[in-house]
Amino acid sequence: MATSPHPRALITGASSGIGAAFAERLSRDQYDLIIVARRRDRLGALAQKLQNEHHVTVEVLAADLGKHTDLLTVENRITEDSNLEMLINAAGFGGYMPFVSLDPNRAEELISVQVLAVTRLTRAALPGMIARGHGSIINVSSRLAFSGPMASPPLPKRATYAATKAYINAFTQILNDELKDTGVKVQALCPGVVRTEFHTVQGLDPSRMPVDSIMKVEDLVDASLKGLELGEVICIPAMDDPSLLKQLDESQRQMLMHSNVGALAKRYL
């Protein structure tokens, strides 16, 4: 494989939305890219644009991460790339509807794209990054990962979607602990409503949402990369008070500590 003076990043879900915005930003920062999505035509147009504007190399890899053979193709591409500096797991979709209305095959696809693919691609990228002593992985999660206690409405029906994002958060946090002193950084990026086509595809009308609740996708990406520099493992770009996350972490620790006994709680006796 030809060498390049530029670092290289692989981005899934790069044909639109957050993935495309990461591709724009990283190419501007002089990263060579491998962009992955289902829609080859969109990827080709984006690759041409980024190469012309920023004079980087952009490789197109059309793949549907919900299909096991396509996922293995992307996984193998990562494994063979000993110089991959950054992995952005941005592929995903909402599937907002009552769980009993969600087609089982669609539910499985959600889990395949937002759990299985994130897990396998992260596993493929880590050995090379650890061997070099540096690298970064950003897993796009959602603020809905924290929404288990909240009712619908006002939030959308989201059981499978929110559960996959909760997996991403726990996976990334625990992985961060395992990667201490390796030089490799990981982050779970938790956007809210972002100005992309994501919510329109889910049948939601962003125009009915308060304007000040919708974030520019470019701002989201800037915050993610700044958060990576700051060592934020859970990055919530719209949250101004990071102590809220520390409170949540402490609450979870307390719950585990106070349930670490072999006897039933009194209310069950």
Structure confidence by residue, pLDDT tens digits, 36-52: 999 999 999 999 999 99
Instruction: Output the six-digit token pair for 99.
Output: 């769980």
For the whole model, what pTM was predicted? 0.92
- At 61-84, the pLDDT tens digits run 999 999 999 999 999 999 999 899
Percent of the chain clearing pLDDT 90 (strictly above): 90
| Range from 190-194, 196-200, 245-249 carrying the lowest mean pLDDT | 196-200
* Alpha-carbon gap, residue 166 to 20, rounded angstroms: 23
Residues of 182-205 as b/e, b for ≥16 C-beta within 10 angstroms?
eebbbbbbbbbbbbbebbeeeeee
3-state DSSP assignment of residue 50: helix
Of residues 178, 120, 166, 177, the one with CA closest to residue 141? 166
- At 143-192, the pLDDT tens digits run 999 999 999 999 999 999 999 999 999 999 999 999 999 999 999 999 99
**How many other C-beta atoms are found inside a 10 Å radius of the C-beta of residue 100?**
7
* Alpha-carbon gap, residue 118 to 109, rounded angstroms: 13
Residue 213 has pLDDT above 80, yes or no: no
Mean pLDDT of the 213-238 span: 96
